[in-house]
Amino acid sequence: MMKRIELTWEVGFFRSEDQPPEKRVKSVVPGAVQLDWARAEGWGPYTYADNWKDYLWMEDVYWSYAAKLVLPDRKQDERVYFVCKGVDYRFKVKLNGKVIHDQEGMFTPFEIDITEIATDGDLLEILIFPAPKSVAEPAARIQANQSCKPAVSYGWDWHPRLIPLGIWDETYLEVRPACHIEDCEVFYELNDDFTQADVRLEYKLSQKGNGQLVWKMLDKHGNPVGEVSAPASVDEGNVTMILDNPELWWPNEQGEQVLYTSQVELLDENNELKDTRKNRVGFRRARLVMHPGAWDEPAEYPKTRSNPPITMEINGRQIFCKGTNWVNPEIFPGIITRETYEPLVTLAKEAHMNIFRVWGGGIVNKESFFDLCDEQGIMVWQEFPLACNNYIGTPEYLKVLDQESKSIIKRVRRHACHVLWCGGNELFNGWSGMTDQSLALRLLNSNCFNMDPQKPFIMTSPLAGMAHGSYLFRYQNGEEVFQVMPKASYTAYTEFGCPGPSPADYLKCFIPEEQLFPPKKGTVWETHHAFDAWYPGSNTWLEIDTIEDYFGPCSTLEELTERGMLLQSEGYKCIYEEARRQKPRCSMALNWCYNEPWPTAANNSLINWPARPKPAYYAVKASCRPILASARIPKFKWQEGELFSPELWILNDSQYPVPAGQIEAFIKIGDEEIFLIRWNYPELSPNWNMPGPIIRFQLPKVDAGQMTLILRNPANPDMDSEYVLLYRERQ
Amino acid sequence: MMKRIELTWEVGFFRSEDQPPEKRVKSVVPGAVQLDWARAEGWGPYTYADNWKDYLWMEDVYWSYAAKLVLPDRKQDERVYFVCKGVDYRFKVKLNGKVIHDQEGMFTPFEIDITEIATDGDLLEILIFPAPKSVAEPAARIQANQSCKPAVSYGWDWHPRLIPLGIWDETYLEVRPACHIEDCEVFYELNDDFTQADVRLEYKLSQKGNGQLVWKMLDKHGNPVGEVSAPASVDEGNVTMILDNPELWWPNEQGEQVLYTSQVELLDENNELKDTRKNRVGFRRARLVMHPGAWDEPAEYPKTRSNPPITMEINGRQIFCKGTNWVNPEIFPGIITRETYEPLVTLAKEAHMNIFRVWGGGIVNKESFFDLCDEQGIMVWQEFPLACNNYIGTPEYLKVLDQESKSIIKRVRRHACHVLWCGGNELFNGWSGMTDQSLALRLLNSNCFNMDPQKPFIMTSPLAGMAHGSYLFRYQNGEEVFQVMPKASYTAYTEFGCPGPSPADYLKCFIPEEQLFPPKKGTVWETHHAFDAWYPGSNTWLEIDTIEDYFGPCSTLEELTERGMLLQSEGYKCIYEEARRQKPRCSMALNWCYNEPWPTAANNSLINWPARPKPAYYAVKASCRPILASARIPKFKWQEGELFSPELWILNDSQYPVPAGQIEAFIKIGDEEIFLIRWNYPELSPNWNMPGPIIRFQLPKVDAGQMTLILRNPANPDMDSEYVLLYRERQ
Query: Measured between CA atoms, how close is A303 to chain B, in angstroms?
Result: 5
Whole-angstrom Cα distance, residue B363 to residue B265? 33
Residues A534 and A634 occupy one common structural domain: no
Q: Is the pLDDT of residue A625 over 90?
A: yes
Residues A562 and A636 occupy one common structural domain: no
Residue B196 burial by Cβ neighbours in a 10 Å radius (0-12, 13-18, 19+):
middle
- What's the pTM? 0.97
Residue A476's pLDDT band (cuts 50, 70, 90): confident
Q: Please tell me whether the peptide bond between B541 and the residue prior to it is cis, using omega within 30 degrees of 0.
A: yes
Mutation target vs A (from B200, B287, B303; most A CBs, 10 A cutoff): B303
Domain assignment present for A310:
no
A491 contact residues in B (CB cutoff 8 A)? none
Whole-angstrom Cα distance, residue B250 to residue B259? 10
Residues B20-49: what's their mean pLDDT? 96
Residues B460 and B524 occupy one common structural domain: yes
Query: Measured between CA atoms, how close is B113 to chain A, in angstroms?
Result: 33
pLDDT in tens, B427-458: 999 999 999 999 999 999 999 999 999 999 99
B436 contact residues in A (CB cutoff 8 A)? 308-309, 458, 463
CB-based contact B471 A496, cutoff 8 Å: no
* 3-class secondary structure, B9: strand
Q: Is the pLDDT of residue A19 over 90?
A: no
Q: Taking the CB of residue A19, how many other CB atoms lie within 10 A of it? A: 12
**Count of domains for chain B:** 4
Whole-angstrom Cα distance, residue A622 to residue A192? 36
Q: Is the pLDDT of residue A139 over 90?
A: yes
Domain assignment present for A580:
yes
pLDDT in tens, B466-513: 999 999 999 989 999 999 999 999 999 999 999 999 999 999 999 999
What integer pLDDT is reported at residue B154 of this predicted model? 98
Residue B162's pLDDT band (cuts 50, 70, 90): very high
* B493, closest residue in chain A (CA to CA): A302
Domain assignment present for B296:
no
Domain assignment present for A557:
yes
Q: Taking the CB of residue A384, how many other CB atoms lie within 10 A of it? A: 27
Domain assignment present for B671:
yes
Domain assignment present for B159:
yes
Whole-angstrom Cα distance, residue B473 to residue B482? 8
Instruction: State the residue range of the domain holding A8.
Output: 3-176
Across B89-169, the runs of DSSP E, i.e. the strands, are 90-95, 98-104, 110-113, 123-128, 166-167
What integer pLDDT is reported at residue B20 of this predicted model? 84
Name the domain boundary from B623, B649, B666. Answer: B623
pLDDT in tens, B340-392: 999 999 999 999 999 999 999 999 999 999 999 999 999 999 999 999 999 99
Residues A440 and A550 occupy one common structural domain: yes
Residues B425 and B487 occupy one common structural domain: yes
Residues A557 and A596 occupy one common structural domain: yes
Residues B660 and B716 occupy one common structural domain: yes
Mutation target vs B (from A289, A435, A604; most B CBs, 10 A cutoff): A435
Q: Is A490 on the interface with B (CB under 8 A)?
A: yes
Residues B614 and B637 occupy one common structural domain: no
Q: Is B492 on the interface with A (CB under 8 A)?
A: no
Whole-angstrom Cα distance, residue A619 to residue A573? 6
Whole-angstrom Cα distance, residue B392 to residue A287? 14
Q: Taking the CB of residue B41, how many other CB atoms lie within 10 A of it? A: 9
Whole-angstrom Cα distance, residue B139 to residue A668? 68
pLDDT in tens, A362-371: 999 999 999 9
B303 contact residues in A (CB cutoff 8 A)? 429, 462, 467-469
Q: How many CA atoms lie within 13 A of A359 on its CB side?
A: 25
Whole-angstrom Cα distance, residue A421 to residue B644? 57
B450 contact residues in A (CB cutoff 8 A)? 446
Residue B642's pLDDT band (cuts 50, 70, 90): very high
Domain CATH code at residue B669: 2.60.40.1930
CB-based contact B430 A304, cutoff 8 Å: no
Domain CATH code at residue B129: 2.60.120.260
Identity at B663, one-letter amino acid code: I
Domain CATH code at residue A369: 3.20.20.80
Residues A482 and A334 occupy one common structural domain: yes
What integer pLDDT is reported at residue B731 of this predicted model? 78
What are residue B639's DSSP bridge partners? B728
Residues A329 and A449 occupy one common structural domain: yes
Listed by number, the residues of chain A in 300-329 with a beta carbon closer than 8 Å to a beta carbon of chain B are 301-309
Across B114-180, the runs of DSSP E, i.e. the strands, are 123-128, 166-167, 171-177
pLDDT in tens, B67-76: 999 999 999 9
Residues B210-221: what's their mean pLDDT? 97
Mutation target vs A (from B304, B454, B483; most A CBs, 10 A cutoff): B304
* A575, closest residue in chain B (CA to CA): B302
Name the domain boundary from B582, B597, B623. Answer: B623
Residues B600 and B532 occupy one common structural domain: yes
Q: Is the four-CA dihedral A668, A672, A677, A681 of positive or negative sign?
A: positive
Q: Is A731 on the interface with B (CB under 8 A)?
A: no
Residues B7 and B29 occupy one common structural domain: yes
- Of B467, B427, B75, B472, the closest CA to residue B274 belongs to B75
Q: Is B445 on the interface with A (CB under 8 A)?
A: yes
Q: Which helix (H) or strand (E) holds B286?
A: strand B286-289
Whole-angstrom Cα distance, residue A650 to residue A656? 13
Domain assignment present for A505:
yes
pLDDT in tens, A432-441: 999 999 999 9
Q: Is A401 on the interface with B (CB under 8 A)?
A: no
Residues B694-722: what's their mean pLDDT? 97
Identity at B109, one-letter amino acid code: P
* B447, closest residue in chain A (CA to CA): A446
What integer pLDDT is reported at residue A731 of this predicted model? 77
Domain assignment present for A287:
no
Domain CATH code at residue B264: 2.60.40.10
